[in-house]
Amino acid sequence: MKKIFLYVILLTNIMGACAQNNNNKKDNTMMKFNKLTQAEENVIVHKGTEHPFSGKYVNNEEEGTYVCKRCDAPLYYSSDKFDARCGWPSFDDEIEGAVKRVLDADGRRTEIICNNCGAHLGHVFLGEQFTNKNTRHCVNSISLKFIPKKDESLERAYFASGCFWGTEYFFMQAPGVVETSVGYMGGDKKNPTYKEVSTGSTGHLEATEVVYDSSKTTYGDMVRLFFETHDFTQTNGQGPDIGSQYLSAIFYNNKEEKAIAEKYINLLTDKGYRVATMLKPAVKFWKAEDYHQQYYKHKGSTPYCHIYRKIF
């Protein structure tokens, strides 16, 4: 009986240790992955290999950063890329902590995978004397996405302030803004149309996506312009446009953007304004129909319910 009791104790400890180890493992089931084509999935998920000299980045010499095609995690800097004439992009170093090495299924080579999501990248080889680091990461182009250096300073911000024609009009002209698009954000329906959103039943707001160069302007500048170009105290729409789709909102991408938005709301509150603007985490932005894009620019007129007034 004593032996049985000791056995149960030992088995319980082993199971507990196993459970603890499982809890420490990275859980990819809740991660958000980019949608892959069949060809990308064959390499990234099923550990295939693209044909040599067929990848788009084999001869790429632009400055920038290579990120994981599956999860967008930064993997390699262009400064570590070199021409090994092997038919695949080669790097002699990775961004610290970005790439994990595991024994390949063939038991001989060393596979390299994205340390964030486990995507198959290729293999790493040592001792070939190509560079002083004596290391070659042989990576499939199809496992990568390249972000040119000139684009690394670009950020996206999302604002809703009534009819998106007027919201976009002012952001289009703002210093440092590279591109704008109007669309729908905040609702549950996928691929909503203007007609559907206009009913107020989808939960979406008419929103504007603003792409700006963070080396020339700031998120704070974008927030100030947002508040200075609409009536952020109106609670039922914007101007004559009444409905839930016309409410005022800032969709923040991260806690830093949220803090900046809260800062300006507090400043406005201190000035005596009753701010009705909602703060919501950014979700899927559904681009609106083509005829809505840059509406006032194409029409050659100005907004009827948005005006600029300096507040800050």
**Residues tagged active-site:** 138, 163
| Amino acid type, 170 | F
Instruction: Tell me how many degrees the CA angle 296-299-301 measures, rounded to the nearest 5.
Output: 60
CA quadruple 286, 287, 291, 296: dihedral sign:
positive
What is the C-alpha to C-alpha distance for residues 48 and 37, in angstroms, rounded to an integer?
A: 14
What is the C-alpha to C-alpha distance for residues 297 and 293, in angstroms, rounded to an integer?
A: 9
| Amino acid type, 157 | A
Phi, psi of 103, deg, nearest 5: -65, 130
Q: Which of 288, 121, 283 is nearest to 191 (CA)?
A: 288
Give yes or no for a contact between 120 and 43, defined as CB atoms under 8 angstroms apart.
yes
Query: H or E element: which one contains 123?
Result: strand 120-126
What is the C-alpha to C-alpha distance for residues 69 and 142, in angstroms, rounded to an integer?
A: 7
Q: Is 175 helix (H, G, I), strand (E, B) or coil?
A: coil
Give yes or no for a contact between 234 and 276, defined as CB atoms under 8 angstroms apart.
yes
What is the C-alpha to C-alpha distance for residues 307 and 167, in angstroms, rounded to an integer?
A: 10
